[in-house]
Structure 1
Amino acid sequence: MKTTRSLTAALSILLVGLMCSVHGGSLQARTTRRSGLLYYNGGYWKPATSSGADSGLPSPKTEGAACKDVLERNGQYHWDGFYSLTSSAGKKYRAYCDTTLEGGGWTLFASKTSLSTPIISNTFSEIAAESTDNDAAGCIPSSSWSQVLFRFKKDGGKSRLIYTRSHGNADFDNFLTCGKRGRAEMFRKVGGFYSFSLHNHNRRSPAANFYTIPKLHFKSNGIAENFAWTDHWLGMWDTPDGTNKYRYSNTAAARGRKCIAGTCYSSDTIWLMYR
């Protein structure tokens, strides 16, 4: 017991005055006079209590229209978790925010846990905004978004994919935006994609500009690169892919159904987030 207390005290002393974060593969350090035991959450050192009350650090401001607003209001004191947002109609709801990955400001709007469940709907779902572990189809409630992040919940070193609207396709943008969906089924040439992962030191691929998926298939069933193409970008369909050019899949059943940037996991939840 004495050894445990001594170790805890030593860790507290070591962490007092030093807050570290990793972003884009670089290590940054900030000094602070505030004290408290911190832990590393994968992107930032954060208080050992979720509120931050015991650490002497301020709790984050939790209001905003989207997670990007929350991030901008809180400066260096922010961490991944649930925040209170306000819809365009003035209604408050709870949403999960990623405030660290690739600059942060990501708001959850849809998730996919099972293999055959669609992930996009045409109406906004407050339940989807906070459903981190369940199937919850949704869409982006704002028409002013700029990027969409495709990632797995248990992120670790898994591949992530970002779609940038300014280099993309208007029909695909409308498909992702609430109340804007066009025809029931579309095949489109869609640009604006790049992937990155911790395994690759967060270096983006392609290194410059964006990748264009020659034939992206999207409808109520899901979103998927045509199964005859590379298998290295998106596969969130309701039926499995008979081909296997994926970089990794933990089960054959996951191929084409729960795949991001060529990696497929049947046991992990896919998150779709916007900023």
Structure 2
Amino acid sequence: MKILITGANGQLGRELANQYKDIRGIDLILAGKLDLDITNLHSVYSFVNQKKPDVIINCAAFTAVDTCESQIDMAYKINAIGPKNLAIAANEIGAEIVQVSTDYVFDGNTDKSLTEFDLVNPQTVYGKTKLEGEILVKSHNPKHYIVRTAWLYGEGNNFVRTMINLSKTNTTIKVVNDQKGTPTSTVDLARVIIKLIEDKNYGLFHCTCKGECTWYEFTKEIFRLKGISTEVLPCTTDEFKRPAKRPKYSVLRNYMMELTCGDITRTWEEAIGEYLK
């Protein structure tokens, strides 16, 4: 099987490549933004027709949530038009497509975990563009896997490494304690994507680790595991004014996995423990 991974230099792209290298019969095509401009339809057609992958996993995205608010056109080009182009090109050669999406498609105004059957209502440019990416992929390629995740960390720049770096130069750190979600390891997300493709289990799926916490609670656990003595102080979202609104509660339930193939993700505590080793 030939698999094209776009956004291959990002956290998820790297983890997918790492896991696929141990699977026999897989021919990987790794494309970073310098190798393929997913926003250019003709470039995508040419690249996909030349490489002829069986599956395209689109890990490319404009994920700078606050920057999206001011760079709206670029956000739509990368998060909506890019997936559309890949879906069309994949459909032309009979290939499948995986589109990675986000908890930001919801408004976060709830107190229950969100399933794939709950109504979406994005409140930010980032959320709106990622939702359009979902819609366009669905409409242009029936062989699609749309996988929503949240609070992702892996090999690269992420919240975990930011907090550890801050602890080196600060005796106290303030962290938001009124936003709840689920920290998710790229290891778990990659495993799920690989399984969905193996099973040809098309459709919309949520994929986060199990459980929930606030950013404050997450940081406390990171520091506990690393033996870091920096004091973590809880604060509110209002104390950190940012251009993009953050969801107050965006815990995703992996309901479609539960109903179809079984939820193979770990608890967030187990996953972060392994990551920090």
TM-score, structure 1 length as denominator? 0.30
TM-score, structure 2 as length reference: 0.30
Higher relative contact order (CA 8 A, sep 6+): 2
Query: Which one has a larger percent strand, Structure 1 or Structure 2?
Result: 1
